[in-house]
Structure 1
Amino acid sequence: MLFSVAVAVRQPWGADFGLHAAVVGRLRDDLWQPANPMVEVISPSPYFTPYTLLLAVIAKVTGLGPATVLSAAGPANLALLLFGLRRFVGLFTTNRWAPVLALLFVPLLWGPAVPQWSGFPALRGLVLILPYPSTLAFGLMLLCWVAVAGALRTASWRRWLVAGLLGGLVILIHPFTAVGTVLGVVAFVVGRLTRLRRPDLVGMLVGAAAALVPVFGWPYFRVTDTLASASELDAIHEALYLDAAGRYGLAFLVGVPALVLRLRRDRLDPLVLLFGLSGAVVLAGWLTGAYAFGRVWPVVVLSLQVAAAVVLATVVAAAFGRRPAESPAPSDPAGVAGPDAAGPAPRRPGSGSRLLVGLWAAVAAVACLAGFATQYGNLLLVLPADQLTAPRRAAHDVTNLPNFGWVDRAVAPGSVVLTGNAPAGRALLAFEIRSVAPPWPDPLLADEDRRLAEQAELVDAATPDPRRRALLTAYGVDWILDLDGSYGWADGYASTVVEGPGKSRLLKVAQPR
């Protein structure tokens, strides 16, 4: 937690940070009719969520900037994620070492080509995404599953109400995580289908209503519109299917034996069902080209990681001299029966079994070390900028983050900057600087395609002068950002030039007389 505070102070956030900071800024400026966070137009946006709304209110009350408030939320998100993980693991065992193993496995058991995406809690990426909505949503997802397990155990409609409210929040905050949340709920419910009673069914209806009422009553965007446009995001997610072994292989290496053991014990084990359901969704995305379903990979990996933590903690305790804290009995597939439900402790395994357990534990330890060795680099982002030199970054494989502080010093918040470089446009959003076309896909922006086409016209040297001037005026362009000196045409429109690092420069557009 102290490390997360240090990271929040340094603010070495990933590319999405600018977008979420811009969202907070727009909501702070107008809670009732906020403008689009990326461009100068009023439109619905799927980024206006309960999370960013809360941060906007905090920013408005405190007077703090959006980037500061969003950064400060990072440690809180991490605390919620860790709490949710502890409670989730506790559904399957009371062994005190299982949560410790899960704390290691979840960030480390991925692969050498680990993805740095929001919603993927791998160590390398987690350092960069702590303040993101996806991190909060991941923690809420775990707590939603815990609430569902408790509701199935007690037939309490109040717990279903809590589960529904948590699920509704996840849907609004991060729809991709919501898909995994639903799969987890199904996994727990399927395990008890033959024993559901009327109070359970009533509770499920209460939970569904608690989730859907706020979702369909949310004033900033319609969830149905977001779902209908999901296919527009397939292309950007295809990378999640490339080199699957390199991205997720360590989780499979350590976790598959654990799932096999749980499957042999109970065919309706919730972790096994979660793995199967989420794996089926990921596979369907690969077969159909609906690559946005690749965002369910974290749930596939999580089921492997948690199963490995639970089973390894139990079998190691049994093999090497201590009575294990039992996992819940097969008769309670919701995983909430408690340690005594599993019956008597297993007998001490023979030397051959102990050898296999020791080998498995050794493989898990080596896998964790390998995961740390390939992911630790971004931990160095807490160092002062002058100590994180280019050679040190290269030696430790630290993610290179763009630095546009020089642009922020020259450009006022709310200005429109023209650049054909999408990563630059994404970074500038953190300073509340807008673009001509959205640098991130925005499925609810009606004129997104036209904006992209006309932005390409603006930066094309062959565009006739009258056409370019008309577009500059139409979009209210205040500045032109030339990153490599290739915008020679921009000199004819500039009244002021600000030199940046290397060949980059910032040109203030002269106002027409």
Structure 2
Amino acid sequence: MRVARPSAGTVTAGRALPGAAAALVLVLLLLVIVRLPWAGDLGMHAATVERLRHSLLHPGNPLVDADTPSPYYSPWMLVLGIVAKATGLSVFVVLRIGALAGLALLVTGVWRYVRTLSGHPAAPALAVLSLLFLWGPLPLNWSGFLGLNSLALTVSYPSVFALGLSFHLWAWLTRALRADAGWGVWLGLGALWAVILLVHQFSGVVASLGALAAVVAARPGREPLPRLGAAVLLGLAVLWVWPYYDFFALFSAGSGLEAVHRPLYQHLLGRFGLALLGVVALALRGRRDRRDPLVIFFVLGAVVFAAGGASGHYAWGRALPAALIPAQLAAALEAVSAGRRAVRTAWACVLGAALLVGAWAQVGTVGYVVGRAALPGVVAAKYRAPWTGYRWITPWVKYGDVVMARGVPARQIPAYGAYTVAPGYPDVFLADAGRRDEAVRRYFAAGTSDGVRSGIVREYGVRWVVDRAAGVRDPGLRRVAEGPGGQVLYAVR
């Protein structure tokens, strides 16, 4: 009995479908960049660019009126600050330019790295789809995590740029280990590693684990070791001389970040359950080659993540992409590199079903392009509206003014050039951050006297207050403007 073989047209269509799907998703992300939905840390990055626009050499703290260093002053943000200063473009236009660069770097980096693992034409597109959709029914929005919804909200963040550089680092390093590259290549790799760590420290940890996996998997002899050592030393030197903040001081700053990162250890199955398909794929790859780079990469990432949970160092949870990325890539590659054709076909069907489930879980991302009103009811239920922004205060509040605000407003207002009394984000280099937080708490507390409020206003040079209409009662305030959601801008008399 003759077994029917798939026609050439069927094979071509099977290869073209992942590419078409990946291209469609990238178009969606480009349209998202046009809208640039506001959520999370966008205000911090906008404020960082704004400070660098006004002073490239001495920008000061990006959030409060204080002369302190900040880990947000990275090489990439410095480039964006120079663009903003040279062109006079709005900070949000500059962030859109940064988003385009970061997305391009990420896509090309994934393509180059996957090409070191498989020569199949469909492998890069399948890898992109797996990185975006093999997550879980509960979308996680966090910088450094590449789910579609998370990427849509963080595409202009330095973390996306750093992850794009990371994929390029792994591809370049893999080829250097295979081709016995010269000193120049290795020194370039060391400098690139340092830049990634400076741009986004957590993604730099992921990049470091991936690079270590590539070295272990390659089993290099003694010959490249001096060049590898020189690359590491050069990278450490770049970290040491970076003038905008002390990189190595960050190692003693983890205690203030644990509570923020504890949610990374919750709802693991709901957030990452589909990535278990990749764990199965890694087990199959491990049986074929115990030194498979993706297997080693996954083990390193899983160990760091588990150690963080066991020890209470929840900030180590930011290393989780070092386990997720190799699992997602392995799931994609198994569909094109498994042994027999029947096995590959079966795996492709399972992968396709998982990708559809993951895409449906994140379908609300479309709302960032078309808005909630244009979405069908079942899709609108998955959509989470972005933040509104505080552009409405800019006719009165000028660059460098100090605004008393709390909560989400404190995380957004610095994007428009103003300062807040207390930073809206943890700040490891701001020595009086706790005192500032307490001052804000006392100012808005119901039982605080007018005299105490006046003292806080004088101490921090407060010129404006943003609060709800039924919020603080202070005779020293004059109502100036109303904004969305019942917010009111008050001027200090």
TM-score, reference length from structure 1: 0.87
Aligned position for 2:272: 248
1:418 lines up with 2:404 in the alignment: yes
Tell whether 2:451 aligns with 1:428. no
Equivalence map 1:113-132=2 (5 Å) = 113-132=138-157
Match of 1:365 among 352, 364, 367: 352
Q: How far did 1:404 drift? A: 2.6
Q: 1:297 to 1:3 in 2, by over 3 A?
A: same
SS in 1 for 2:366: helix
Among 195, 200, 222, the alignment partner of 2:246 is: 222
Aligned with 2:386 (options 382, 400, 412): 400
Q: 1:99 pairs with 120, 124, 143, which one?
A: 124
CA distance in 2, matches of 1:402, 1:196: 56
> Does the Cα contact within 8 Å between 2:197 and 2:204 map onto a contact in 1?
yes
Taking the aligned partners of 2:408 and 2:378, their CA distance within structure 1 comes to: 23
| Letter aligned with residue 324 of structure 2 | V
Tell me what 2:453 maps to. 468
Superposed, which structure 2 residues align to 1:279-358 within 5 Å? 279-315=302-338, 319-320=340-341, 354=342, 357-358=344-345
Identity %: 37
1:255-280 Cα shifts (integer Å, max 9, x gaps): 12211111111111110000001100
Matched residue, 1:150: 175
Aligned counterpart, 2:189: 163
For residues 6-34 of structure 1, the C-alpha deviation after alignment (integer angstroms, 9 at most, x for no partner) is 33332213221110010011111111111
Please point out which of 165, 169, 189 is paired with 1:140: 165
The secondary structure found in structure 2 opposite 1:497 is strand
CA-to-partner distance for each residue in 1:395-439, whole Å, 9 max, x for gaps?
34234323333233442232221122x212112222122211000
**One-letter code aligned to 1:215:** L
Shift of 1:392: 9.0
Q: In the alignment, what sits opposite 2:4?
A: none
Kept in 2: contact 1:14–1:128 (CA 8 A) = yes
**SS of aligned partner of 2:81:** helix
Q: Does 1:377 align with 2:364?
A: yes
Q: Is the Cα–Cα contact under 8 Å of residues 401 and 462 in structure 2 kept in the other structure? A: yes
- Between Structure 1 and Structure 2, how many residues are aligned? 467
CA distance in 2, matches of 1:46, 1:166: 17
Query: 2:362, 2:241 → 1: CA distance?
Result: 41
CA distance in 1, matches of 2:377, 2:389: 17
* Partner secondary structure for residue 491 of structure 2: strand
SS for the counterpart of 1:498 is: strand
User: 1:291 Cα shift?
Assistant: 0.4
Letter in 1 for 2:369: V
Residue 484 (structure 2) aligns with = 501
Cα deviation, 1:212-259, whole Å, max 9, x if unaligned, reads 12111000110111121022111100001101111111011x212211
AA matched with 2:81: A
SS at match of 1:44: coil
1:6 to 31, 37, 40: 31
Q: Distance in 2 between matches of 1:502 and 1:248?
A: 34
Please state how far the C-alpha of 1:185 moved relative to its aligned partner.
1.5
User: Aligned with 1:470: secondary structure?
Assistant: helix
Cα distance in 2 between the residues matched to 1:48 and 1:378: 30
Q: Does 1:483 align with 2:439?
A: no
Amino acid across the alignment from 1:302: I
Amino acid at match of 2:326: S
Write out per-residue CA displacement over residues 465-491 of structure 1, whole angstroms, 9 at most, x where no aligned residue.
22211110111111111125222x13x
Structure 1 gap segments, 5+ residues each? 321-353
CA distance in structure 1 between the aligned counterparts of 2:466 and 2:458, rounded to whole angstroms: 16
Amino acid at match of 1:288: S
Q: Quote the Cα distance in structure 2 between the aligned partners of 1:175 and 1:131.
A: 16
CA–CA separation in structure 1 for the residues paired with 2:453 and 2:399: 24
2:67 is paired with a residue of what secondary structure? coil
**Deviation at 1:384?**
6.2
Question: Over aligned residue pairs, what C-alpha RMSD do you find?
Answer: 2.0
**Alignment partners' CA distance in 1, 2:344 and 2:43:** 47
- Confirm whether residue 196 of structure 1 aligns to residue 221 of structure 2: yes
Who is 1:177 aligned against? 203
Gaps of 5+ in 2: 1-25
Find the residue that maps to 1:478 and give its secondary structure. Answer: strand
Q: Is the 2:50–2:415 contact (alpha carbons within 8 Å) kept by the matching residues of 1? A: no
- SS of the aligned residue for 1:506 comes to strand
Deviates further, 222-231 or 81-90: 222-231
**Of 80, 88, 92, which residue of structure 1 is paired with 2:105?**
80
Contact 1:4/1:75 (8 A) holds in 2: no
In structure 1, what residue type is equivalent to 2:231? G
Does structure 2 retain, via aligned residues, the 8 Å contact 1:143–1:166? no
Partner AA of 2:253 in structure 1: S
Structure 1 residue 443 corresponds to structure 2 residue 428 = yes
Counterpart of 1:30 (choices 55, 59, 63) is 55
Q: Deviations over 1:348-371 (max 9, x none)?
A: xxxxxx3x5544322211111111
Cα drift, residue 394 of structure 1: 4.3
